[in-house]
Chains A and B, each alone.
Chain A
């Protein structure tokens, strides 16, 4: 059930980003898809985040007729990493979604530039750096409503169901 809910949430976020928000300058470098993915990953863990990231990336690459796999790779790593962060340390902390979004926004922007550079496409690092602050700001503003919605859709698991990474033996 969580899979279906995540698919619908990320599909709607992708449509919003591609068809509506992308037209407005403040949202062009920011991404509601990234924020939604991080919220889902934080609440549902690394494997869920990685699979959701891969699917979302594939959807974005398909819809924009870009090179398949580029966005998938970045979002898979982003979803996995933030999922692990949520599993191991900070799922319930207030700052967790904001910190995740801030860090991943920066890494995602430079990761995208790096991949474009590797593929021999233009990689305007200076331009991305100039727009990074605005992207960061918009993504952080989007975090509050998007994470709130994600928390409603994916209520935190009961204490007993959580992954226990550290066990004291003996």
Chain B
């Protein structure tokens, strides 16, 4: 027996190579297969991210695939609608009593306001005619394309929705088509802007998205111009920044889009006068050069069923 014998020799008595158990090779090959599969998938994902992020090469494929998915999304929406309506009905019923008293008070106040506004409107029209005044573009200067909402925001950090209208759809009242940057509204107010357009679907960035910023003004104090952006909270509350301290913005004031008023090299993409929301709080601090204003949007982003895309007529 050699002096430098191995452990194997000590245990087995000889240095005969034992064959591996039959399952061992299979396990090793399945481990290799597993790593290859996940490696390929991760690599493929990274390639997709790179191509999709850096170019528009995959837009055609993505648009076609989104078109294919559209009927399924519409069907899911139709199936869920009765349940959604029932849930909404229960929720509204609970709020109805408190809302009723509040709305009655509002009606009384608004009835008086209507008389005042009607006079002001007639005066405004007459004066505009006399002066041949041309104001900023309003909603009337745009054709409207109604579209169903296909998918809601995918996450709290990505506040985008998809809608069932795209560049291939014809729009009544204009020869133009839906394009990136077009403004999206509902009868309640501003929703956002079109961020990506495909043939029959589009992606809309909501005003609650981190990247959204809208030049806005106070309807009661038109010189109070600021920028409406997403608030810090997790809800749909917006903030209106860059409003000078000397401007009076009161709680309950209505905030609207400012439009092209005072436009420079970069005019606002929003027409003047689209409703955004009401001021819920306004404050001034010693260290902040601007006011701190919170705005509750008129649009309920949790129950968007259909939207209107404003397409320029010319």
Residues of A that sit less than 8 Å from B by CB: 11, 15-16, 18-20, 22-25, 28-29, 46-47, 50-51, 53-54, 57-70, 72-73, 76-77, 80, 112-113, 115-116, 119, 121-124, 126-128, 130-131, 163-165, 167, 169-170
Contacts of A80 in B (CB 8 A): 38
Interface residues on B, range: 35 or more
Q: At the interface with chain A, which of B62-70, B93-101, B106-114, B266-274?
A: B62-70
Residue B248 at the chain A interface, CB threshold 8 Å = no
Chain B interface mostly: helix
Contacts of A11 in B (CB 8 A): 72
| A65/B198 contact (C-beta < 8 A), A51-B41, A164-B27 known | yes
Contact of A66 among B18, B37, B158, B235 (CB under 8 A): B158
Asked if A68 and B52 sit within 8 Å, CB to CB, the answer is yes
Residue B48 at the chain A interface, CB threshold 8 Å = yes
Contact with A along B149-193 (1 / 0, CB 8 A): 011111111101010000000000000000000000000000000
Nearest Cβ on chain A to B91's Cβ, whole angstroms: 11
Asked if A63 and B27 sit within 8 Å, CB to CB, the answer is no
Asked if B151 and A22 sit within 8 Å, CB to CB, the answer is yes
Asked if A29 and B21 sit within 8 Å, CB to CB, the answer is no
Residue B144 at the chain A interface, CB threshold 8 Å = no
Asked if A64 and B154 sit within 8 Å, CB to CB, the answer is yes
Residues of B that sit less than 8 Å from A by CB: 18, 20-21, 23-24, 27, 30, 33-34, 37-38, 41-42, 44-53, 58, 62, 65-66, 69, 72-73, 76-77, 80, 84, 150-158, 160, 162, 196, 198, 201-203, 209-211, 232, 234-235, 302-304
Q: CB-nearest residue of chain B relative to A12?
A: B76
Nearest Cβ on chain A to B180's Cβ, whole angstroms: 12
Contacts of A70 in B (CB 8 A): 45, 49
